[in-house]
Structure 1
Amino acid sequence: MLTRLEPVFARLDREPERPAHLQTPRMSRHRVVLLAALLACYLAIVVAVLTTSWLVRLDWQIMFFRPYEQWPQLHAFLDYLVVLGQRGPTAVMVAAWLGWRSWRQHTLRPLITLGVALLLLNITVGSVKLGLGRLGPHYATQIGSAELFAGGDIFPSGHTANAVVTWGILAYLASTTVTRRVLSLFSAVVSLSVGATTVYLGTHWVSDVLLGWLAGLLIMLALPWFEPLIARTEAYVFELRELWRRRLEEGRLSAPVAAALTPLLSAGGKWQPGHSDDAAAVPVTASGAGAAGHSPALRPAGHPVARQHVIRSERTPVTPAGSRRPAHTERAAARGASARPAG
């Protein structure tokens, strides 16, 4: 199986598609100002709910309006649309796309960035949910109350915040300006639709959705602060991979572990930060070191090294030195000798 997959791995190694002009987002002054403004709005909504202000009265008015009864024909469609804000399905879809992109670009940054963003989402949104303990519209017990500290977990809206972060990460990791704008518009439409759908279905208050939007935007704006951590994590993963590769080469792993790790560690030798394509051309001496003292990429024993592909026009023509079959006269003499009776 490894022999069959070797051409695929070799092709991926020879043709990386990492954008050369891609720059890591930085924490600019405008981003800091916008982050501070959104944080102020976030705190203002929390205070408005804590003090049972006009925002809570608006929550109850829309709850009594019951949008799902006003437009029942939309219910079936919106039941499916709200899935775009659920953590499990969206994380799997986006992680699959970013995983393929990581493989093609020979970098782990997309997947690590997604993991950091989801971790921040769980910590920030989850702590506020559990700390305030607000009940949803379907479980409200006292009309006009904010329903806080009652054991709920509805404020802020997790569906809305997850839609902002999960789909917004695609725009954050976009390679071009046009792609970033298109994906930003797409993530905005999806997150706004998911938030409005939760209000329509009666599973969230309006203030829950407002705070969910702000929570997701705050995470997206703060991501550049975590870029150094993302880079260090990627470097650590590659160092750990090389360590296991050396252990596999030296035979220091048990047979089941070696069998499980061989496809992973032997594939994509160039898939590491700062690796130059010229390293593949360094000749290897009998001692295992390159001509300039470079060590070749370690491969498991018995795993064939990918040969450089040569197109048909560059191959050396092979001229047959002669036919292996004997000449006609020799064959005739042989037949005559075999037909002559002995003695």
Structure 2
Amino acid sequence: MRTDIFARLDREPEPPKIEVPRMTRTRLALFGGTLAFYLAIVVAVLLSTWLVTLDWKIMLFRPYQQWPELHAFLDYYVVLGQRGPTAVMVAAWLGWRSWRQHTLRPLLTLGAALLLLNVTVGAVKLGLGRLGPHYATQIGSAELFAGGDIFPSGHTANAVVTWGILAYLATTPRARRYLSALSAVVALGVGLTTVYLGTHWLSDVLLGWAAGLLILLALPWCEPLIGRAESMILSLRDRLREQLRARHRLVPSLPVASGGPRPVLIPQPSMGTGEPVRETVGAGSGRTTSVRSESRPASEGRLAPPLTAPRAHSTHGHAGHAGHSTHAGHGTHAVRSERTPVTPAGSRRPPHSRPLTGG
């Protein structure tokens, strides 16, 4: 019985065709506008404009001291922007979606989005090296290129991408609208929570929102690559399954003693119309035992005893011997071997017995 994720999928009815989002003119215009906003925030921070002054005003206001009763709740709420917990929760939901829809696209789309998020946001963080509010050294300074990793906000960008991917993969317009509103509320709340806690500047949050939205808007460009990756994974699964089935068919049903060597099959060419001849090699032992199985026609019965030449009879025998000699004169006939049959209990002939002779 198969226990992989595809076992039940093969028994489910075929789902309706899922429409893959494309890069439309509207989406392209939104992408261009968001990119322009992203660059404007970066330039404003680099030039230490009014945006940096606003950052310092909010930081010196210290929201967490103005409304301390919110601190306990927002400490937990900000977890919705952490990459680890959110990725696990969303991946569980999309895994169930993949099971029901007979496709790996939801999980592969999530993986592609998180990969883009880590590469783009991480590169800007390390490149600009901005320090956070708690580590600022000079009032009014942008705190850039000081070895920090705070700009843009990773919590904010991750909340936009992780929860926004649910709206991106929605199959109905109604579900897409509801999930878009929900993901927007979560992402906005996570970004403002980081400002309240004093872990990010306001400009960090603005850039994080733009960075996450750019990834969601650019996902249609990744759909062909996601489709090829899904085809490769499914074809690899099918090949592995066929190899396992072929290996299962080659395993013989030979009894193996406990602790003894296991047989290894070495296929040999077939003989005639019979079954292929196989050699069973005892692994770990110094012996090789040939096991030959050849089929015979169904009409063939038991093998006849071997034909031997008639025995020469003595002229000094009794009447019975004479009778045998007379019968032997008609031709060759089958006789039983004179060798004493041996059984597990020993010989059936009494010890020291001599054949009877006439006289």
Q: Structure 2 length as normaliser, TM-score?
A: 0.67
* Mapped pair 1:110 → 2:110: no
* Mapped pair 1:75 → 2:92: no
Please show how residues 1-343 of structure 1 align to structure 2 within 5 Å: 2=1, 12-16=9-13, 18-20=15-17, 22-251=18-247
For residues 6 and 153 of structure 2, the distance between their equivalents in structure 1, rounded to whole angstroms, comes to 43
For residues 190 and 67 of structure 1, the distance between their equivalents in structure 2, rounded to whole angstroms, comes to 20
| Structure 2 counterpart of 1:141, one-letter code | T
For residues 43 and 123 of structure 2, the distance between their equivalents in structure 1, rounded to whole angstroms, comes to 16
Larger Rg belongs to: 2
Q: Deviations over 1:117-140 (max 9, x none)?
A: 000000110000000000000000
Q: Deviations over 1:81-114 (max 9, x none)?
A: 0000000000000000100110111100000000
Q: Percent identity?
A: 75
Note if contact 2:158-2:212 (Cα within 8 Å) is conserved in structure 1. Answer: yes
Note if contact 1:109-1:231 (Cα within 8 Å) is conserved in structure 2. Answer: yes
Note if contact 1:19-1:175 (Cα within 8 Å) is conserved in structure 2. Answer: no
Greater helix share, structure number: 1
| Structure 1 counterpart of 2:110, one-letter code | L
| TM-aligned CA distance change 1:9 to 1:205, over 3 Å | closer
Q: Structure 1 length as normaliser, TM-score?
A: 0.70
Q: Deviations over 1:179-207 (max 9, x none)?
A: 00000000000000000000000000000
Shift of 1:10: 6.6
| Structure 1 counterpart of 2:81, one-letter code | G
Aligned residues: 249
For residues 17 and 105 of structure 1, the distance between their equivalents in structure 2, rounded to whole angstroms, comes to 8
Note if contact 2:6-2:99 (Cα within 8 Å) is conserved in structure 1. Answer: no
Note if contact 1:140-1:147 (Cα within 8 Å) is conserved in structure 2. Answer: yes
Q: Detail structure 1 runs of 4+ shifted over 6 Å in the superposition.
A: none
Q: Deviations over 1:240-280 (max 9, x none)?
A: 1112112212229xx9xxxxxxxxxxxxxxxxxxxxxxxxx
Quote the RMSD (CA, aligned, Å). Answer: 1.9
Look up the match of 1:282.
none
| TM-aligned CA distance change 1:122 to 1:67, over 3 Å | same
For residues 88 and 222 of structure 1, the distance between their equivalents in structure 2, rounded to whole angstroms, comes to 23
Shift of 1:15: 2.5
Q: Deviations over 1:199-227 (max 9, x none)?
A: 00000000000000000000000000010
| TM-aligned CA distance change 1:9 to 1:55, over 3 Å | closer
| TM-aligned CA distance change 1:17 to 1:66, over 3 Å | farther
Greater strand share, structure number: 2
For residues 168 and 6 of structure 2, the distance between their equivalents in structure 1, rounded to whole angstroms, comes to 28
| TM-aligned CA distance change 1:48 to 1:29, over 3 Å | same
| Structure 2 counterpart of 1:133, one-letter code | G
| Structure 2 counterpart of 1:139, one-letter code | Y
Bigger relative contact order, structure 1 or 2 (CA pairs below 8 A, ≥6 apart): 1
Shift of 1:162: 0.2
Q: Deviations over 1:143-168 (max 9, x none)?
A: 11000001100000000000000000
For residues 187 and 16 of structure 1, the distance between their equivalents in structure 2, rounded to whole angstroms, comes to 31
For residues 84 and 32 of structure 2, the distance between their equivalents in structure 1, rounded to whole angstroms, comes to 30
* Structure 2: gaps of 5 or more residues: 252-359
* Structure 1: gaps of 5 or more residues: 256-343
Note if contact 1:16-1:104 (Cα within 8 Å) is conserved in structure 2. Answer: no
